[in-house]
Each structure stands twice: as C-alpha cells, then as structure tokens.
C-alpha cells in the first residue's frame, strides 16, 4: 500500500476503538498477516478491555477461545472478545478470510468465491454480507454545491427466498412487463454532488413525502438541485427553499447551460453494468450491494483485499 492509500485508510478508521485502530495501523506498518494482526489486536485489547455489547469497562476474565481471550461483562453479564461488535465476530475459518476478501475485490460470484476459499455456498453468502455490513451504512451525510438527483429502477427479485408472497414465481428467461410497474421494479434514488459525495436509497414508493424524507437531511440549504422532471423534486426544492433546475429528457432537455445530471447518470450506468455480473440481486439485499458499489467508487485503486478486511471492522463502537 502506497503512502496515499495508507493515509486514506487511516482517515476512515475513526469509528474503531482506539485500541483496535492503533493495532491495525501497527499491523499495516509491519505488513503483518491477518492472524498476526488479530493477535496484535487481542494483545492490545487486553490493556483496556471494553464490552462489545454495552461498552462497559467493568469486565473480568472468562476464558480463551479460538486463540482470543474472552471476557465477561460485570454490567450486562455477556461474554465477548476483541472482535465482538464487529462484522468479523464469530466468523470461523480465519485462514480463508483473506482469500474471501480477495474474491470480493475480484467481484466473484458467491459460488466462485466459495470454490476459491473451500467453503460452502451458504457460508459464502453469510460472509459476503458480514464483510459488507459496514460499507452498507457509509453514505454521504451532506451533499452540497451542485447536487444531481435521479432515480433508477432495478428489477424486483426474491432470489434465494423459499416462499414467495404476493406474486407467482417467474419463469427463467421471461422479460419484465412494459413500463416500470411497482411489481416488477424497485426504485432507487441516487444523489451525487460534483465532489463525488454519494447517497442512495431504496424507495418504497415515488411519493413526494418519500423523496423529502431522503433528501431533506442531506442536501445543504444553499445547494443547487438539478434533477429530471419528476414533480417530487420540485416539491422538495420549493419547501426547502432551494434553487432547482428540472430537465425533461422526454422533451430533449439534456442540459440547461452548464447544468446537467450526467454525473449522476454516469454513476447509475456504472452501477447497473456492475450489477449484471451477479445475474440478479435479491431486493432485500440490494442495500448491501449499493454500499459495496459506493465503497468501490470511494476507494478506487486502493481497494485491495486487505482494505476489504479492515473496512469490515468499523461497526465496532468507540
């Protein structure tokens, strides 16, 4: 990892505990293996153990398991170790973690990742969503300046479900109904400013109140909102007192002077092209894949297998 990549990594470790953060930085500097890094975290954690459930520091020793010291909290009476509270907690086969992180970096399917790592398909599924748990929640907290917004539609899927509720199962190879019906497609709102800050949200509907609920907390009060012609954007902008430019593509309106939504549309194009490799994503897990794509966009060339492992830790509370 080069100096720039290392600094970018350290900047994103703020949500780790001090002990975990310092141990990981030391492990990176020493270029330790995963097992050595976890051993270092465990040894540093011993100096100031903190309950992974309630964050109490009133703890006592308990036992040792899988090479990690286990503690018992005197307040909530639960046991924990140095990885409790992170997505890597209770994952077995640590010898395969790095290979699985490499499979994520390579964008392999669940089945191919399982074959590479010598694990079952079910385990591959669980690991993917545990490794991506932190990335799913990392979204832009504020978008400012020129803010572009557009919605895209991803085919609704119950992939992996054993019981379907509300519709008959589709036959393989069938095409979706004409138009973007609520049964066949799930709307996703994408918001992106010219600095690359990105927010996305799976929407239950296309009502104005839903758009306001997503946009109001993140769009800066002095932003210029550029969107397509959907009325919900105009309603939100009017209520928020924002400048708003609406482009009606059906009338051939692609730009208004130097204003456009090509930035967000290009992002949507990259997202949908990337999703094709998975041959359909279950709608219930779509937020995880959206988070995965945001991670790829943020990290760029710095997104290595090591980074996938380390970014899985920010669920640990400070």
Q: How far is CA 157 from CA 10, 168, 181, 212, in A?
A: 37, 12, 13, 26
Return the structure tokens found at 51.
């309950």
221 has a pLDDT exceeding 50: yes
79-96 residues labelled b (16+ CB within 10 A) or e (exposed): bbbbbbbbbbbebeeeeb
| Selected residue with higher pLDDT from 239 and 25 | 239
What gap in Å lies between CA 210 and CA 204, rounded to an integer? 8
Phi first, then psi: what are they for 123, rounded to 5°?
-65, -40
Query: 224-228 and 146-155: which strand pairing?
Result: parallel
Q: What domains can be seen in the chain, in order of their start residue?
A: 146-292 (3.30.420)
| Selected residue with higher pLDDT from 1 and 22 | 22
Considering the entire predicted model, what is its pTM?
0.71
**Which pLDDT score is estimated for 14?**
44
What gap in Å lies between CA 250 and CA 187, rounded to an integer? 19
- The CB-side HSE value for 181 (13 A sphere, CA atoms) comes to 6
Instruction: Kindly state the average pLDDT of the residues 206-230.
Output: 95
- Average pLDDT in the chain: 81
Tens of pLDDT along 132-188? 887 888 899 999 999 999 999 999 887 766 665 565 666 665 665 545 555 688 999
pLDDT tier at 12, thresholds 50, 70, 90 = very low
Count other Cβ atoms within 10 Å, centred on residue 139. Answer: 18
The full 3-state SS of 73-107, as one line of letters, equals ECCCCCEECCCCCCCCCCCCCHHHHHHHHHHHHCC
Among candidate residues 162, 25, 124, 257, the one with its CA nearest the CA of residue 245: 257
Return the structure tokens found at 1.
């990892």
Say which residue the tokens 């992974």 belong to: 52
| Selected residue with higher pLDDT from 304 and 145 | 145
Instruction: Kindly state the average pLDDT of the residues 101-119.
Output: 90
∠ CA 81-91-102, nearest 5°, is: 120
155-181 residues labelled b (16+ CB within 10 A) or e (exposed): ebbbeeeeeeeeeeeeeeeeeeeeeee
What gap in Å lies between CA 266 and CA 154, rounded to an integer? 16
Q: How far is CA 211 from CA 190, 237, 266, 289, 298, in A?
A: 11, 10, 21, 21, 24
**Which pLDDT score is estimated for 1?**
40
Count other Cβ atoms within 10 Å, centred on residue 297. Answer: 16
197 has a pLDDT exceeding 70: yes
Return the structure tokens found at 14.
């703020």
What gap in Å lies between CA 71 and CA 22, rounded to an integer? 21
**Which pLDDT score is estimated for 107?**
86
Among candidate residues 9, 133, 90, 83, the one with its CA nearest the CA of residue 316: 83
**Which pLDDT score is estimated for 44?**
75
Return the structure tokens found at 148.
């572009």
Instruction: Kindly state the average pLDDT of the residues 60-88.
Output: 81
| Selected residue with higher pLDDT from 130 and 203 | 203
Query: 59-65 and 146-155: which strand pairing?
Result: unpaired
| Selected residue with higher pLDDT from 273 and 312 | 273
């Amino acid at each position: 990892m080069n100096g720039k990549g290392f600094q970018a990594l350290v900047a994103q470790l703020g949500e780790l505990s001090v002990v975990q953060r310092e141990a990981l930085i030391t492990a990176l500097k020493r270029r330790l293996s995963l097992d050595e890094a976890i051993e270092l975290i465990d040894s540093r954690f011993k100096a100031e153990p903190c309950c992974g459930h309630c964050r109490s520091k009133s703890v006592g020793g308990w036992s040792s398991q899988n090479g990690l010291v286990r503690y018992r909290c005197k307040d909530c009476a639960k046991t924990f170790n140095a990885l409790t509270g992170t997505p890597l907690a209770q994952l077995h086969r640590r010898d395969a973690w790095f290979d699985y992180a490499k499979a994520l970096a390579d964008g392999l399917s669940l089945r191919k990742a399982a074959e590479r790592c010598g694990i079952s398909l079910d385990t591959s599924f669980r690991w993917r969503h545990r490794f991506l748990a932190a990335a799913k929640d990392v979204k832009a907290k504020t978008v400012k300046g020129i803010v572009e917004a557009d919605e895209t539609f991803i085919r609704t899927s119950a992939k992996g479900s054993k019981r379907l509720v509300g519709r008959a199962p589709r036959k393989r190879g069938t095409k979706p109904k004409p138009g973007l019906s609520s049964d066949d497609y799930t709307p996703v709102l994408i918001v992106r400013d010219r600095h690359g800050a990105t927010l996305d949200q799976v929407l239950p509907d296309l009502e104005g109140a839903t758009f306001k609920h997503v946009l109001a907390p993140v769009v800066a009060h002095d932003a210029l909102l550029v969107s397509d012609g959907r009325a919900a954007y105009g309603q939100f902008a009017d209520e928020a007192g924002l400048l708003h430019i609406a482009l009606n593509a059906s009338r051939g309106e692609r730009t208004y002077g130097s204003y456009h939504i090509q930035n967000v549309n290009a992002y949507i194009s990259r997202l949908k092209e990337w999703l094709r490799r998975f041959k359909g994503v279950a709608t219930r897990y779509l937020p995880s894949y959206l988070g995965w794509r945001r991670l790829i966009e943020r990290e760029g060339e710095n997104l290595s297998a090591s980074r996938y492992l380390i970014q899985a830790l920010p669920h640990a509370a400070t």
